[in-house]
Amino acid sequence: MSEVILKNVGKVYEGKNRAVQSVNLEINDKEFVLLVGPSGCGKSTTLRMVAGLEEITEGEIYIDGKLVNDIPPKDRDIAMVFQNYALYPHMTVFENMAFGLKLRKFPMEKINERVNEAAKILSIEHLLERKPKQLSGGQRQRVAVGRAIVRKPKVFLFDEPLSNLDAKLRVQMRTELARLHHQLETTVVYVTHDQTEAMTLGNRIVVMKDGIVQQVDSPLNLYNNPVNQFVAGFIGSPAMNFIEGKIVNDDGIKFTSEMNVLQIPLDEKVFSKYVNSKITLGIRPEHFSDEDNALNKIRITLDVVEQMGNEVFAHFAIDGKPIISRLKPKDTFRIGAEVEISLDKNHFYFFESETGSRIV
Amino acid sequence: MAKVKKYLVLALVIFVAVITFLPFLWMVSASFMPTGASNTYPPKLFPEKFDFSHYQVLFSRLNLTRYLLNSIIISLGATFFSLFLNSMGGYAFAKFRFSKKESLFKFLLSSMIIPGQVTMLPVFLLLKNMGLINTYWAIIVPGMASIFGIFLIRQYAFSIPDSMIEAAKMDGATELQIYLKVILPLCKPILVTLGLFTFMGTWNDFLWPLIVMTDSNMYTLPVALANLSSEHVQDTEMLMAGSVITIVPVLIVFLALQKYYIKGIMMGSVKE
Ligand SMILES: Nc1ncnc2c1ncn2[C@@H]1O[C@H](COP(=O)(O)OP(=O)(O)OP(=O)(O)O)[C@@H](O)[C@H]1O
Ligand SMILES: [Mg+2]
C-alpha cells in the first residue's frame, strides 16, 4: 500500500511568490497520476513537495498514511526521475544505479541482483560499464529510470522525463513507461505538459493552472466533461474551438455569436437566467460535419486544408475567428472551396465568458 | 610562406625555452661540481665528474632532512586543509540557500583587496596568543581557508546541476555523503588546480615562515636555504645543491598533476 494524500497543500516562495495554492489530491495505491498544465503553473513545485525537495509552506502531505512534511527525501522511500536525467557523470551506469542501494547498505549480491534485474527490464544490460557521457539521450533516460526502479520505492515521481527526447523516441519511451508501470505496479506521479502523454499514460489527470487544481478526472471524463473553459481548451488536440457570443431572448432563448453568423436555439430551463450575458460556445474539431443534414448549418470558405489521409483538418473562420474542424477526407476540400458545414448540437459546451466556468 | 612562418615561430619558441631552461640546467650541474669549480673561467656547463659531496653534507651535517620534512608536512597539511575547507565553503556558496548569502560573499570578496602584508602583524599576534608560533600550525592555520579558493570552487560548483544534488538526496545520501561522493569527485579538476596552487605557494613561501618560525628546527626549505646562503656565501655549489632539493619536489608534483591542472583551468570556459 502506498497512497499519497495532499491536504490543502500550498507553496509560497521566499515569502511572496505564490506557486501552488490549496491542492487537495488523493493518489491511490498503484495509480498512475499525471499533473498537467501550462508552463509555470506549479506542477514541478507540487511534485517536488511530494519528493521533499521543496519545503511545504501550507497544508500536509501523507505518504502511506504517514505525515511527511518534516521528513527528508531520503526517508520518504520515493524515487524521482529528472528532466535532465541527472546521472552522476563520474560513475558508470552500474554505479549510478547501485548508488542508492549502496547508501542504504544493501549487501553486494543483492545490489548486483537488483541492478541486473532492472537493466534487463530496460534492456540496458550491455551498457552497465559505460559512463553517462558515452550514452545517447534515450539510453540515459533508461538509466535514470533504472536508478529509480532498483530501489523498489513506494512512489515514483517523474518530472517531464521525456521532454528532452526526439519525437520518435518519446513515443517509444511513453509506451515503455506504460508497460513498466503495469509490470511494477507502483504508484506513479508524472508531470508533463504534453497532453498526449497525459491522455495515454494516466489513470487520472490533474489539470493545473496558476497554482490551482482545475479538475481531477480520468482522461475520458476530462475530455468529455471539462469543468471549465481552461480544461476544455487544454485537453484535446487540435484544441477545442471557442466562439464568443451571448444569450438573447428573441423568439425563444438563443445563443448568437458576436457577428450573428451562428444562431443556436437553446433550452429555456438552463439558459433563461443567462439572457444578455456573455457566453462562449465550445466545440471540438470532430463535432463538425459536412454530411449531416441537421440544424446549425453554416456556409464557410476553407482557409487551409490539411489532408492526413484518414481524416482532414479543415481550417475556416466563424465570426472572423479561426476554427479547426476534423472531417472525413474529400477531394472537394480545397483552399477557397465553399462548404456547407453543420455543428453537432449534442456536443456543445457553454462557458460563462467572464469566469470560464461551464454551464451544464 | 606559411611554412617559413611556422619554422620562425618554432625557432623562437625553442630559443626562449633554452634561455629559460639554462639557469635551471646550470643549477643542477653546478650542484654536482666540486667546491669552487663553478666559478672558473671559462665557465663550464657540465661538471667534469659528478661530485655528490654537497648533497652528503647537506643531509648529514646541515640537517636538511629536517627542513625537507618540515616543508613536506606543512605544504601537505596546508593543501589538505585548504582543499577541505575551501571546497566546503565554495560548494555552500554555490548550492545552498541561506539568507544574506550574496551579501556575505560580496563582503568576503571585498576583503581580497587588502594586501597580505597588512595582515601579517595582526595574524602573527593572534597566532602568538594562541601559542602556535614555532609550530606547523603557524603556517597551516592562516592558509586553511582563502577567499580565492572559495571563489574558485564556487564558480566551478555552479556548473553542477542542482538536479544532480537532488538526485543524490532522493537516492538517500546525507549532506555529507553528497559532498563526499558527488561534489568532490565532480570538482576533481578544480581541486587539483587549487591544491597545486596551495602546495606550491606554501612550499615556496619565504616571508611568512621566516616570521613565524624562529626556532631553526622548524625552518622550511626556503628559509633554511637563505640561511645557508649567508653562512656559505662562497660555496655556490652547496647552495645549488640546496636549491635543487628545494625545487625538485614541487616540480615532480606539478608534472604529475599537470594533466588535470590544465583541464581545471580550461573547465567552465566552454559550456557542454
Ligand atoms: N526556486 C524558486 N523560487 C521562486 N519562485 C519559483 C521557484 N521555482 C519556481 N518558482 C515559481 O513558481 C511557479 C511554478 O513553477 P513550477 O516550476 O512549479 O512550474 P511548472 O508547472 O513545473 O512549469 P514548467 O512546465 O515550465 O516546468 C512559477 O511561477 C515559478 O516562477
Ligand atoms: Mg516544471
| Residue A192 Cβ contacting ligand 1 at under 6 Å | no
Chain A residues closer than 8 Å to B161 by CB:
84, 86
User: Are A245 and A256 within 8 A, CB to CB?
Assistant: yes
B233-265 pLDDT per residue, tens:
678 888 888 889 888 888 888 888 887 766 655
| pLDDT at A72 > cutoff 80 | yes
**B176-191 tens-digit pLDDT:** 999 999 999 999 889 9
The whole-model pTM stands at: 0.82
**3-state SS string over B173-203?**
CCHHHHHHHHHHHHCHHHHHHHHHHHHHHHH
Res. B103 pLDDT band, cuts 50 70 90: very high
Q: Does B99 touch chain A (CB under 8 A)?
A: no
Give the pLDDT mean for A81-92. Answer: 91
Peptide bond into B42 cis (omega under 30): yes
Q: Crossing angle of helices A137-149/A167-184, nearest 10°? A: 20
Taking the CA of residue A46 as reference, the ligand 1 atom at the shortest distance is: 18
Distance of CA A73 from the midpoint of ligand 2 (Å): 18
Whether A190 shows a pLDDT value over 80: the answer reads yes
CB under 8 Å to A57, separation ≥6 — which residues? Answer: A10, A11, A12
Per-residue confidence band for B272, with pLDDT thresholds at 50, 70 and 90: very low
Interface of B with A in 115-134 (CB under 8 A): none
Lowest mean pLDDT among A23-37, A49-63, A133-147, B31-45: B31-45
Q: Give the pLDDT of residue B60.
A: 82
Distance from the Cα of A201 to chain B's closest Cα (Å) equals 24
Q: How does residue A293 score in pLDDT terms, banded at 50, 70 and 90?
A: low
The shortest C-alpha distance from B73 to chain A (Å) reads: 31
The answer to whether A280 and A242 have CB atoms below 8 angstroms apart is yes
Q: CA torsion B70→B71→B76→B77, rounded to 10°?
A: 50
Residue A349: strand pairing partners: A282
A273, B187, B264, B272 from B269: Cα distances, Å: 67, 15, 10, 10
Contact yes or no for B172 and A103 at CB 8 A: yes
Ligand 2 centroid, distance to A40 Cα (angstroms): 7
Percentage of the residues of chain A whose pLDDT score is greater than 70 = 98
Provide the sign of the torsion angle of the four alpha carbons B149, B152, B154, B160, taken in this order: negative
Nearest-Cα distance to chain B for A82, in Å, is 7
Tell me the pLDDT of chain B averaged across its residues. Answer: 87
B228 interface with A at CB cutoff 8 Å: no
Distance B267 CA to ligand 1 centre (A): 30
Preferred mutation among B99, B165, B170 to probe A, highest tally of A CBs within 10 A: B170
* B188 closest CA partner among B55, B40, B87, B52: B87
Cell of A115: 541492478
Question: Would you say residue B269 has pLDDT above 50?
Answer: no
Q: Which atom of ligand 1 is nearest to the CA of A54?
A: 1
Cβ contact B171–A147 (<8 Å): yes
CB contact at 8 A, B242 and B232: no
Place of cell 505564490: A18
Please state whether beta strands A187-191 and A155-159 pair in parallel, antiparallel, or not at all (unpaired). parallel
Is the separation of the CB atoms in A68 and A55 below 8 Å?
Answer: no
Question: Could you please report the per-residue DSSP string of A29-59?
Answer: TT-EEEEE-STTSSHHHHHHHHHTSS---EE
* Model confidence pLDDT, tens digit, residues A242-261: 999 999 888 888 888 888 88
**Is residue B267's pLDDT more than 80?**
no
Give the Cα separation of B225 and B203 in Å (integer): 13
Establish whether residue A226 lines the binding site of ligand 1, counting it when its CB lies within 6 angstroms of any ligand atom: no
Q: Do B174 and A82 touch (CB under 8 A)?
A: no
With 80 as the cut, is the pLDDT of residue B105 above it?
A: yes
β-sheet bridge partners, residue B77? none
Separation of A11 CA from ligand 1 center, angstroms?
A: 10
Residue to probe by mutation, ligand 1, list A13, A46, A158, A193, most atoms within 8 Å of CB: A13
Give the separation between CA B263 and CA B192, rounded to whole angstroms: 9
Note the pLDDT of residue B271. Answer: 38
Report pLDDT for A346. Answer: 86
Kindly list the residues of chain A whose beta carbon comes within 8 Å of any beta carbon in chain B: 51-53, 72-74, 78-80, 82-84, 86-90, 99-100, 103-104, 147, 151
- Output B219 or A293, whichever has higher pLDDT: B219
Which residues have CB under 8 Å from A276's CB, separation 6+? A246, A247, A248
What pairing do the DSSP bridges indicate for beta strands A241-249 and A253-257? antiparallel
Strands A358-359 and A288-289 come out as: unpaired
Nearest C-alpha neighbor of A242 from the set A300, A297, A285, A281: A281
Identify all chain A residues contacting B173, using CB atoms and an 8 Å cutoff.
74, 99, 103
Q: Does B170 touch chain A (CB under 8 A)?
A: yes
Which chain A residues are within 8 Å of B167, Cβ to Cβ? 80, 82, 86-88, 147
Q: Work out the pLDDT band at B42, boundaries 50, 70, 90.
A: confident
CA angle A82, A87, A88 (to 5 degrees): 140
Quote the radius of gyration of chain B (alpha carbons, Å): 23
- A298-338 pLDDT, tens per residue? 888 899 999 888 899 999 998 888 999 999 888 888 888 88
* Angle at A186 (CA atoms; ends A111, A56), nearest 5 degrees: 100
For residue A184, the model assigns a pLDDT of 87
How many CB atoms lie under 10 A from the CB of residue A64?
Answer: 17
CB B151 within 8 A of CB B90: yes
Average pLDDT, stretch B56-82? Answer: 89
Average pLDDT of span B80-99:
94
The position carrying cell 594533466 is B259
The residue ranking higher by pLDDT, A262 or B157, is B157
- The model's confidence at residue A352, banded by pLDDT at 50, 70 and 90, is very high
Give the chain B residue whose CA is nearest to the CA of A48: B166
CA distances from residue A40 to A46, A190, A192, A239, B21 in whole angstroms, order as listed = 11, 16, 12, 20, 61
Cα radius of gyration (chain A)? 25
Which of A39, A44, A47, A190 most suits a substitution to test ligand 1, by most atoms within 8 Å of the C-beta?
A: A44
Q: How far apart are CA B8 and CA B24, in angstroms?
A: 25
Q: Is pLDDT above 70 for A66?
A: yes
Domains, chain B, in order of start with CATH, read 1-51 (no CATH), 57-269 (1.10.3720.10)
Cell numbers for A110: 543483492
CB-CB contact of B33 with B238 (8 Å): no
Q: Phi first, then psi: give them for residue A158, nearest 5 degrees.
A: -125, 130
Please state whether the peptide bond connecting residue A238 to the residue before it is cis, i.e. omega within 30 degrees of 0.
Answer: yes
Contact pairs from chain A to chain B, CB under 8 Å:
57
Whether A86 sits inside 8 A of B182 (CB atoms) is no
- Provide, as residue numbers in chain A, all residues whose Cβ is less than 8 Å from the Cβ of B168: 88, 99
* Start-to-end C-alpha separation, chain B: 37
| Cβ of residue B263 closer than 8 Å to a chain A Cβ | no
- Say whether B166 and A90 touch across the interface (CB within 8 A): no
Report the nearest atom of ligand 1 relative to the CA of A42. Answer: 18
Compare CB distances from B172 to A53, A83, A100 and report the shortest one's residue.
A100
Q: What confidence tens digit (pLDDT) does each residue in B140-197 have?
A: 999 888 999 999 999 999 989 999 999 999 999 999 999 999 999 999 889 998 999 8
Ligand 2 midpoint to CA A191 (Å) = 7
Q: Determine the distance separating the centroid of ligand 2 and the alpha carbon of A81, expressed in angstroms.
A: 12
pLDDT band at A81 (very low <50, low <70, confident <90, very high): very high
Chain B residues lying within 8 Å of A78, measured CB to CB? 170
Name the DSSP class of B52. -
Decide if pLDDT at B266 tops 60: no
Distance CA A185, CA A199 (A): 19
DSSP line for B63-110: -HHHHHHHHHHHHHHHHHHHHHHHHHHHHHHHH---TTHHHHHHHHHH
